[in-house]
């Protein structure tokens, strides 16, 4: 009897590689929060102006997510990964000239220079999570889908957690926010070069994936699954808006993004202004609110998969699970707005952030469950809608905190997550857009 070799496990190498690249992507975007003191002193930004600097990133990020997802369906995830990775690394380095470019080109307005560079930087980073979803849909078995997506999304809390020691360490070591961005940009270029050598769009095309692993990824029906994927007509992009599930799922994800960007961009300055923490102590204090989320983002994928296996109902495993988590998140941020002790504030922020991260993988899994033929495009549209919060959260926090004090930005966060509770209760995963595919529609290339 012929012995077959055990299944290879190369998909986990891909998962790890994706996490590391997305990790640096996240540190790049969050590092500016720890350079607030140096940048605001150099260019004279007030609290509202600084909120605008933080929010400009989101304008580009929204459109980068939208276009990146569609390009991943058309050109393949690898090509978009490489183009976006090179671009965001170069624009990270370009941050060092942002204010001076504004002064030189825009009538002495450093704010306009930061607007230009931050928008382009955000646009370059925007495709990352849409193509993570595209990558995971191609490389993960159906039975591991929730967990696989959560592995890719681990970079969100882990990146935010590591932003504090990395950014503060580079700032203390070099005493220059510009040097910090040069180092981060160079690291991104090195990683994307490594990625280009190790990654293929499909596991079928990689020499280190054997037949056993491929059968596992394709659910034991590799050839049939491939044939069915090729035969299935691609939905038009506007079919997204015919799906109640996909639209409300995007609003739910908006709530997650709101919490994420509010904490990522304003926690360092809030702790400095409200409780007098210095840069030398923020490297570890800034990590605390993200510790729990590093565990719950992975745990949430497992819980969602377990609920699906146990009940056989995606509505329980995805929408009800997310709604319950967001409800608890809402309560935590309402309590933060009333807390007076620094340690009570940090504890509640940590708990609220951990609960917010628990269903992170759900939003992306709902897209795969509902529209498997257009994962990249529809993930990009979802990310575009949700990333309105990437602009709104830091900008609104700056306006509210300047007018009404810092407690108001936590109340606004609770309102955003309460909206998410309502939205996720409307989600019915697996119920696709009601659109009849036209005969002329051609399936997008992998």
Spell out the domains of the chain, with CATH numbers in brackets.
10-199+232-424 (1.20.1250.20)
The number of beta carbons lying within 10 Å of the beta carbon of residue 305 is 22
Task: Supply the DSSP symbol for 241.
Answer: G
The pLDDT score that the predictor gives to residue 2 is 52
- How far apart, in whole angstroms, are the C-alpha atoms of residue 294 and residue 153? 9
Q: Other C-beta atoms within 10 Å of 33: how many?
A: 24
Number of Cβ within a 10 Å radius of residue 228: 12
Q: Which two tokens stand for residue 63?
A: 């459109």
User: Number of C-alpha atoms within 13 angstroms, CB side, residue 370?
Assistant: 35
State the virtual CA torsion across 342, 343, 345, 351 in degrees, nearest 10: 160
Tokens of 197: 């050598």
Give the count of beta carbons closer than 10 Å to the beta carbon of residue 202: 16
pTM score: 0.81
Over residues 81-114, the pLDDT tens digits come to 999 999 999 999 999 999 999 999 999 999 999 9
The secondary structure of 180-205 as a DSSP string is HHHHHHHHHHHHHHHHHHH--SSGGG
Residues of the chain with pLDDT under 50: 1, 220-232, 435-446
Which residues have C-beta within 8 Å of that of residue 10, sequence separation ≥ 6? 203, 206, 208, 209, 213
pLDDT given for residue 220 in this prediction = 43
Q: How far apart are CA 365 and CA 371, in angstroms?
A: 10
In this prediction, residue 3 carries a pLDDT of: 62
* Tokens describing residue 95: 């941050």
Counting beta carbons within 10 angstroms of the beta carbon of residue 419, is it exposed (0 to 12), middle (13 to 18) or buried (19 or more)? middle
Distances (CA, A) of 298 to 84, 127, 154: 26, 22, 7
């Amino acid at each position: 009897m012929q012995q077959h070799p055990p299944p290879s496990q190369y998909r986990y190498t891909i998962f790890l590689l994706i996490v590391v690249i997305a990790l640096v992507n996240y540190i790049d975007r969050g590092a500016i929060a720890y350079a607030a003191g140096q940048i605001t002193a150099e260019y004279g930004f007030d609290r509202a102006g600084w909120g605008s600097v933080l929010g400009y990133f989101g304008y580009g990020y929204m459109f980068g997510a939208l276009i990146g997802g569609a390009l991943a369906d058309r050109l393949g995830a690898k090509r978009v990964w490489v183009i976006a990775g090179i671009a965001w690394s170069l624009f990270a380095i370009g941050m060092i000239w942002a204010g001076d470019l504004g002064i030189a080109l825009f009538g002495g307005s450093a704010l306009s220079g930061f607007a230009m560079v931050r928008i382009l930087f955000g646009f370059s980073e925007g495709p990352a999570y849409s193509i993570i979803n595209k990558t995971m849909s191609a490389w993960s078995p159906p039975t591991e889908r929730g967990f696989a997506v959560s592995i890719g999304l681990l970079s969100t809390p882990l990146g935010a957690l590591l932003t504090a020691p990395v950014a503060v360490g580079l700032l203390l070591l070099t005493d220059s926010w510009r040097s910090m961005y040069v180092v981060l940009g160079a690291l991104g270029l090195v990683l994307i070069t490594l990625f280009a050598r190790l990654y293929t769009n499909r596991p079928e095309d990689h020499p280190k994936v054997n037949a056993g692993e491929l059968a596992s990824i394709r659910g034991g029906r590799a050839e049939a699954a491939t044939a069915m994927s090729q035969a299935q007509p691609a939905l038009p992009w506007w079919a997204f808006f015919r799906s109640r599930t996909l639209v409300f799922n995007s609003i739910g994800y908006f709530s997650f993004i709101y919490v994420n960007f509010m904490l990522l961009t304003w926690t360092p300055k809030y702790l400095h202004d409200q409780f007098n923490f210095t840069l030398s102590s923020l490297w570890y204090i800034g990590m605390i609110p993200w510790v729990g989320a590093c565990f719950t983002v992975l745990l949430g994928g497992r819980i969602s998969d377990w609920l699906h296996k146990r009940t056989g109902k995606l509505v329980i495993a995805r929408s009800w699970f997310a709604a319950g988590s967001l409800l608890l998140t809402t309560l935590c941020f309402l309590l933060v707005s009333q807390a007076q002790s620094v340690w009570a504030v940090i504890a509640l922020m940590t708990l609220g952030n951990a609960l917010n991260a628990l269903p992170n993988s759900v939003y992306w899994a709902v897209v795969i469950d509902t529209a498997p033929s257009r994962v990249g495009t529809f993930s990009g549209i979802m990310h575009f809608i949700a990333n309105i919060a990437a602009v709104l959260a830091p900008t609104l926090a700056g306006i509210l905190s300047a007018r009404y004090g810092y407690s108001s930005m936590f109340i606004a966060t609770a309102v955003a997550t309460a909206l998410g509770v309502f939205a996720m209760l409307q989600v019915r995963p697996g119920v696709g857009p009601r659109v009849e595919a036209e005969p002329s529609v051609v399936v997008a290339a992998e």
